[in-house]
Amino acid sequence: MKNIIFILLTLLASTTVYSMDLTDTQVKNLVKNAQEARLKAYAPYSTYQVGAALLSEDGQIIQGCNVENASYGLTNCAERSAIFSAVSMGKKNFQAISVVTKDGGSPCGACRQVINEFNPDMVVIIAKEDGTVVAKKTLRELLPEAFGPKNLQDTIECTPKK
């Protein structure tokens, strides 16, 4: 019995470690890409430029920046820009995302929810404009007890047909 508990605990620990298991080079590369994306931000209203870089399971990095709008509410955040671009490219499996702002700001609630849609264990790297990493967390830590696809699994058959 003890052995089984030990094996289960080891398996659980290794799963957790695996999800945060990015090499230094991968982290640096993601931050560099987010810095680069930040320079493309369209933020004439807030002037708060945000860059994001998403690491896809196939190793590709997809950049995104915030795109503001004169009607304010239509603004799209950098993280969501990156995810929507990646999905439009046919990618749906992501390992990590980095976000760069001038002050190391954390992803907003809407972006946390969208990241959760694709991988609750996604590693989120938060950095300042000079590349200093201020936090490296899983999405689960940033958005505990999230509502997500799992909540709708049983309702799919109930979706009204046309």
Asked if 45 and 34 touch (Cβ cutoff 8 Å), the reply is: no
Catalytic residue among 57, 68, 79, 129: 79
Residue 160 vs residues 70, 147, 149, 156: alpha-carbon distances, Å: 37, 22, 18, 9
Q: Output 75 or 113, the one with its CB closest to ligand THU.
A: 75
* 135 touches ligand THU (CB under 6 A): no
Residue tagged 């049983």 (tokens): 154
Out of 46, 60, 93, 132, the only residue in the binding site for ligand THU (CB under 6 A) is 46
Applying CB under 6 A, which part among 30-38, 89-97, 106-114, 118-126 lies near ligand THU? Answer: 106-114
Residue 69 Cβ, how far from ligand THU at the closest point, in Å? Answer: 9
* 97 touches ligand THU (CB under 6 A): no
79 catalytic per annotation: yes
- Distance, in Å, from the CA atom of 6 to the CA atom of 28, rounded to the nearest integer, reads 35
Nearest Cα residue to 39 out of 102, 92, 106, 125: 102
Residues annotated as catalytic (active site), given as ranges:
79
